[in-house]
Amino acid sequence: MSTEDRFKPGDLVFAKMKGFPHWPARIFKSRSGTRKRVLVYYFGTHQIVPPENVVPYVGNKQKYGSGVRLKGFAEGMWEIQNTPHQGRPRPPGHLTDRLQHPKPHRTDGL
């Protein structure tokens, strides 16, 4: 079984990006048509990473889940442990963002 086939949407993982430690994340979906990238939801943001940079959360919490002092990491660990299914990544300005946060209408006639 290839690395990218090990994960399915919803799996909790640690994902690695160059220059950063393994970060708590959740598999969002695989990119159809490509086996070279995995879409993950980082608790705080989302990125596309190579599947070889993703390891299961279960069994790796001790190894990757402590000792990191970067801003946001402790919050990410709290979120993966307490609210692992919160948030769904979508592009900035997505229709649902505009519906939930519409721009205020001006009343000054300008």
| % the chain with pLDDT above 70 | 61
Per-residue pLDDT tens digits for 51-76: 888 999 999 999 999 989 888 888 88
pTM: 0.55
Alpha-carbon separation of residue 1 from 5, 7, 33, 104 (angstroms)? 6, 10, 17, 51
Residue 80 φ then ψ, to 5°: -65, -30
Give the amino acid at 109.
G
34 or 80, greater pLDDT: 80
- Domains of the chain, each with CATH number or no CATH: 3-100 (2.30.30.140)
Q: What angle do CA 87, 90, 91 make, to 5 degrees?
A: 145
